[in-house]
Amino acid sequence: MNSNKLWNRNFIMLCLSSFFVFINFYSLMATLPTYITDHLSGTQKQVGWAITSFMVAAVLFRPIAGRLVDTIGRKKIVVPALIVFALSTLLYFSITSFILLLLLRFIHGMSFGMATTGNGTIASDLIPKDRKGEGLGYYTLSMNLAMVIGPFVGLLLTEHWNFKVLLMVLSVTTILSLVFGANIKLTKTVPDASHLTTKQLQPAQGWRKYIEPSALPISISAMLLALAYSGILTYVAGYAKHLGLGTVASYFFVVYAIMIIFSRPITGKLFDRWGEHRIIYPSLILYVIGLICLSQANSPFMLLLSAALVGLGMGTLTPSLQTIAIRHAPPHRIGLATATFFLLFDTGFGIGSITLGRISSTFDERTMYFISALIVVVGALLYYVLHHRKQLQSHKSATQ
């Protein structure tokens, strides 16, 4: 068997499992607010609580999942989490009050956080070492495609039929996710500890039980990039309407996805061949320019140009930074490294949705997106200070 082969049965099943999980996530993100206000007579504040409860649960349970996948095994966490994820989707049929919905959203978010953390760790296990950038790029592409297809399917089904029809479709997709996830065959269920030093074999203490320290520097930078991106995902549709470009808004994420689909195979291979810094810095520049273009958009061309630039920039940065987080972690703590990365990434997204919303209401969307560009600049500086400069110092010490 070719150990350098990327596209095999297990990797394809993993990508499909992840795709269907995120179809569920993004479909409900797009349609649940209307369901709450129209069918449960909820307020916009309650919509916010429903979204927040899901994300809080996902963030809280990521570190726990990271520790468990490293200690008791990947699939022993992923499969039960996918079962709970599927059951949670079915339970939406019986929701009659907002309190029950809030509880269900928390359980749904918990299973989402644990399943996606486990799947991310399995991806690292399956991808050949010298193709990590390329492989994780393809893996995260399944999430990017779901980000475009999920809301489209969700809104289409709820507009032409109703929310229950959407739930029927999502119930099928979650079962498919479980089937694909359960049929992934791993040669090792837990990391190989035979090559570890005595110090590494000692149990982690305190917060290190749930956080991988080596993944923190790159994850902090990723948190700021996610914070800036949350303003796009949450507010770009409303921004486009205010500009009189409402009909163009639906194409924003289509262009974003197209740029990722065409660039990801190239940037992933270049990451593995050229090294991380030659990919990260140009991607950061594209991301900043894209946000500045968005802040100054006054025509369909400018709006879609910003989508293309952000797609090239942020679309490359997410898998690249995740690859770095995993590469620098000890093999027996890859699950925790994955959890640490997404813990801070999700935290940035959650903080950004609230903070940038306040900036938008205090000033306007143009100011919000310009400030988002400055946040990415800060993220770039942190990347250099916390990661790149340390590498340079280590290399200098090694050559002396």
> Tens digits of per-residue pLDDT, 108-134?
999 999 999 999 999 988 998 888 888
What is the radius of gyration, based on Cα positions, of the chain?
Answer: 21
User: Which string of b and e fits 177-215 if b means at least 16 CB within 10 Å?
Assistant: bbebbeebeeeeeebeeeeeeeeeeeebeeeeebbbebb
Q: Which of 48, 58, 51, 47 has its CA nearest to residue 346? A: 58
Contact 99, 36 (CB under 8 A): no
Q: What pLDDT is attached to residue 178?
A: 97
Contact 89, 115 (CB under 8 A): no
pLDDT tens profile 222-260: 999 999 998 888 788 888 888 998 888 878 888 988 998
| Residue 39, in any domain of the structure | yes
DSSP state for residue 388 in the 8-state scheme = I
Q: What pLDDT is attached to residue 186?
A: 84
Domain check: are 77 and 173 in the same one? Answer: yes
Domain check: are 13 and 60 in the same one? Answer: yes
Exposed/middle/buried for 386, CB within 10 Å: 0-12, 13-18, 19+? middle
Domain check: are 138 and 226 in the same one? Answer: no
Domain check: are 223 and 135 in the same one? Answer: no
Domain check: are 57 and 176 in the same one? Answer: yes
Domain check: are 259 and 115 in the same one? Answer: no
| Residue 386, in any domain of the structure | yes
Q: Which domain holds residue 42?
A: 7-187
Alpha-helical regions (H) of the chain: 9-39, 44-71, 75-91, 98-126, 132-160, 163-182, 198-201, 216-242, 246-274, 277-295, 300-327, 334-362, 365-382, 389-399
Q: What pLDDT is attached to residue 191?
A: 56
Q: Which of 59, 72, 117, 74 has its CA nearest to residue 322? A: 117
Q: What pLDDT is attached to residue 192?
A: 56
Domain check: are 382 and 236 in the same one? Answer: yes
| Residue 365, in any domain of the structure | yes
- Count of domains observed in the chain: 2
Domain check: are 97 and 221 in the same one? Answer: no
| Residue 207, in any domain of the structure | no
CATH of residue 390: 1.20.1250.20
| Residue 192, in any domain of the structure | no
Residue 8's Cα: distance from chain center in Å? 23
Query: How many other C-beta atoms lie within 10 A of the C-beta of residue 222?
Result: 26
User: What stretches in the chain show pLDDT beneath 70?
Assistant: 1-3, 188-205, 395-400
Q: Tell if the pTM clears 0.75, that is, is over it.
A: yes
CA distance 304 to 302: 6
**N-to-C CA span, the chain:** 42
Contact 324, 276 (CB under 8 A): yes
Q: Which of 114, 120, 342 has its CA nearest to residue 215? A: 342
Domain check: are 250 and 355 in the same one? Answer: yes
Domain check: are 34 and 93 in the same one? Answer: yes
Q: Which two tokens stand for residue 339?
A: 């959890």
Q: Which two tokens stand for residue 18?
A: 């992840």
Q: Which of 122, 153, 187 is the last residue of a domain?
A: 187
| Residue 193, in any domain of the structure | no
